[in-house]
Amino acid sequence: MKHLVVLTGAGMSAESGIKTFRDADGLWEGHDVMEVATPEGFHANPELVLDFYNQRRRQLLEVEPNPAHFDLAELEKHFKVTIITQNIDDLHERAGSSNVIHLHGELLKVRSTYDKSDIQQWTNDLCLGDLCPKGHQLRPHIVWFGEDVPMIEKAMDICATADKLLIIGTSMQVYPAAGLMHYIPQQTPTYLIDPKPNIESKENLTVIAERATVGMKMFISYFNF
């Protein structure tokens, strides 16, 4: 079975009602990202940061996967599919995708501020005083600016085995995720679904300048399943 590697970003979940990570003015839901998405911001005002992610978590639990998520899950009938996502939502999993790597963490998980490996599922609000078993404050299981991306090496290894590459809803301009393109075998057919594509033209590249739900239908139509 051919290996389809899929790189997804904010545009994948936008049609489910999930706001994109950063607006053009550098704000995320009205907040300076340095206040809510850095270790320094958490240290300076942990209550603000916890409240920010509590709002995101509540929003996530109110939305559903969109047709593009379900179409992607259906492709597992025809390909070995690995999804490498920059998104922190669980919409790929809820739609039925079975092999998802989250580069930037997961909103429905928290971890100990003392032990990075102490990770647990979390669907309620996270508050000051919510502690790990060793008595340390819990924090969102999110990769903040300035922190290591623990899944990036695994993602590089996966990209090196791609027979086809599909990119959905991400400009692939932000590192380290953007660097994954360098690990795709040179002749691999690549498909980009994005309403405002911003990618260097290259051999074997097919651009589908549509939003995710429309673009996924077009992508599927290229194959005679």
Please give the positions annotated as active site.
104
Cα(80)–Cα(202) distance, integer angstroms: 24
SS3 category, 112? strand
3-class state of residue 90 by DSSP: coil
The answer to whether 10 and 86 are in contact (CB under 8 A) is: yes
Sheet holding 3-8, edge to edge: 100-102, 80-85, 3-8, 164-168, 190-193, 205-208
Residue 155, both tokens? 């993602």
Number of residues that this document lists for the chain: 225
Residue 23 half-sphere exposure toward CB, CA atoms < 13 A: 9
Q: Which token pair is 127? A: 């508050």
